[in-house]
Amino acid sequence: MPKNVLTLTDQRTDKTYEAPVDEHGTIRAMDLRKIKTDPEDFGLMTYDPAFMNTASCKSNITFIDGDKGILRYRGYDIETLAEHCTYLQVAYLLLNGELPTPQQDKDWTWEITHHTMLHETTKHFIDGFRYDAHPMGILVSTLAALSTVYPEAKNVHDPESRQKQIVRLIAKMATLAAYSYRHRRGHPYVYPDNDLSYTENFLNMLWKMTEPKYMASPVIARALDVLFILHADHEQNCSSTTMRVVGSSQADPYLSMAGAASALSGPLHGGANEEVLRMLDEIVSVKNIPAYIKRVKAGELKLMGFGHRVYKNYDPRARIIKSVADEVFEVTGRNTRLDIALELERIALADDYFVTRKLYPNVDFYSGIIYQAMGFQPEMFTVLFAIPRAAGWLAQWNEMIQDPEQKIARPRQIYTGVGQRKIPTTQDEKSAVKVG
């Protein structure tokens, strides 16, 4: 009968150790600590920059099989959720583990709809930003500022308080995002309209001008809802990990989410969608693609929107986005950048450099093309990613707070600096001069 145990022989000491291997195929890193050269030795550690092979939590929320290109929230395939659900239903699923019943759906939608307003002082806070402030900077800062509006949010071990902040954050993300856009445009803020769905209301707060009531195109509102579903969670990515790490110090969820949104803003993470558009604009025309690919292969540039730490196959979200694009273009007209993107994908996927490295289009490759066709400037793209990712961040945070195995996140380091030394005295300096 094989034992679920890893046997390790330390050839430095000739000693043998056993570490249990659990049903997930993992060993406890702390089991390595008992491997010592002598009693004074600290014990063995693993060195894993960028967490390439370290599981930092157990989670019930999102499953990814990167080799097969599978993404599931709470067991449901992303394709099924995108086809049959609304973003708010998916947010409920991520947070509660089950899709809502019709009554729960109604109550949840009512709750979110009735928490979309911002305190007037928060509006004034947004007013204080420069006219050309990047909307992601506004979003991050205003999320942190909400911590001052809801001081009771620091009671992170009170489930009722947690639920209240979760509702507020999901509801207010759309308002914060819309106001960050309106501020940049110099347009007056539009108050939420409770008759509308989550995405219709978001579009209302973005685009309403003097008309008494703003009604979004149902095709655009549904396409945005699908995009929100696709972006809602992605297990332990850089921003969700940040949410967990900041939250592990028991900081309140507004501050933790400001941290998560900051992580998302980087061009290697959620900021990639903005960079893809800039890249397509730089390429200008299909005929310039081979020269661009040559520069990528020479290591001069990265092909933005390509590659993923986990997916070594086509990102399933990118496939769904491609099909949504066709529906959007029927309403908005075709974005000419799509031709460049499609050709770029075709050439890259036939090229040995990309094939051997398993670099496929990721979620950010096509999303910007749709956002732009909908009328968004590239600066708004990462904000559009952040709105639904709030559901994932909060689900991850809520799970972490309730996990008895979690403590304050605090990795180890390998110190490579100088050993102990003393500040030279004047006397030492004098003797050094003499010696010299």
CB nearer to ligand CMC: pick between 134 and 308 = 308
In angstroms, give the least distance from the CB of 318 to ligand CMC.
9
**Side chain identity at residue 296, one-letter code:** V
In angstroms, give the least distance from the CB of 326 to ligand CMC.
22
Question: Which tokens go with 228?
Answer: 């929100």
Q: Do 135 and 174 touch, CB atoms closer than 8 A?
A: no
| 59-98 binders of ligand CMC (CB under 6 A) | none
Q: Measure the CA–CA gap between 66 and 359, rounded to whole angstroms.
A: 12
Letters for 185-224 (x = contact with ligand CMC by CB under 6 A, - = none) are: ----------------------------------------
Where helices occur in 208-309 by DSSP H, the ranges are 218-231, 238-248, 253-265, 272-283, 289-297
**Of 231, 233, 308, 315, catalytic:** 308
Q: Measure the CA–CA gap between 337 and 65, rounded to whole angstroms.
A: 30
> For residue 236, which of 428, 114, 56 has the smallest C-alpha distance?
56
Return the SS3 of 253.
helix
Q: Do 365 and 306 touch, CB atoms closer than 8 A?
A: yes
Return the SS3 of 197.
coil
**Of 77, 364, 403, 428, catalytic:** 364
Nearest residue to ligand CMC, scored by beta-carbon proximity: 307
Q: Does 139 bind ligand CMC (CB under 6 A)?
A: no
Q: Measure the CA–CA gap between 45 and 21, rounded to whole angstroms.
A: 17
Figure out which of the listed residues 172, 269, 322, 337 binds ligand CMC, where binding follows CB under 6 A. Answer: 269
In angstroms, give the least distance from the CB of 386 to ligand CMC.
11
Q: Which residue has the tokens 């947690």?
A: 162
Q: Does 357 bind ligand CMC (CB under 6 A)?
A: yes
CB nearer to ligand CMC: pick between 207 and 306 = 306
The partner residues of 361 in beta bridges, in order of sequence, read: 306
Is 124 in the active site? no
Q: At a CB cut-off of 8 Å and minimum separation 6, what does 79 contact?
A: 316, 320
In angstroms, give the least distance from the CB of 411 to ligand CMC.
18
In angstroms, give the least distance from the CB of 221 to ligand CMC.
24
CB nearer to ligand CMC: pick between 137 and 267 = 267
From 90-98, 154-162, 264-272, 407-415, span contacting ligand CMC (CB under 6 A): 264-272
| Strand order from edge to edge, sheet including 62-65 | 62-65, 70-73, 76-77
Figure out which of the listed residues 88, 93, 363, 370 binds ligand CMC, where binding follows CB under 6 A. Answer: 363
**Of 183, 231, 234, 269, catalytic:** 269
How many chain residues bind ligand CMC (CB under 6 A)? 19
Is 41 in the active site? no
Q: Does 270 bind ligand CMC (CB under 6 A)?
A: yes
CB nearer to ligand CMC: pick between 183 and 231 = 231
From 85-93, 199-207, 269-277, 414-422, span contacting ligand CMC (CB under 6 A): 269-277
DSSP 293-335: HHHHHTTS---TTB--SS-SS--HHHHHHHHHHHHHHHHH---
CB nearer to ligand CMC: pick between 144 and 304 = 304
> For residue 159, which of 88, 259, 253, 255 has the smallest C-alpha distance?
253
CB nearer to ligand CMC: pick between 203 and 264 = 264
In angstroms, give the least distance from the CB of 82 to ligand CMC.
17
Is 308 in the active site? yes
Q: Measure the CA–CA gap between 341 and 348, rounded to whole angstroms.
A: 10
| 276-315 binders of ligand CMC (CB under 6 A) | 296, 302-309
**Side chain identity at residue 208, one-letter code:** K
Question: Which tokens go with 232?
Answer: 């809602």
| 230-249 binders of ligand CMC (CB under 6 A) | 237
Task: Report helix, strand and coil shares of the chain as percent, to nearest 5.
Answer: 55, 5, 40
**Hey, which residues are catalytic here?**
269, 308, 364
Which residues of this chain interact with ligand CMC, rule CB under 6 A?
A: 237, 268-270, 272, 296, 302-309, 357, 359, 362-364
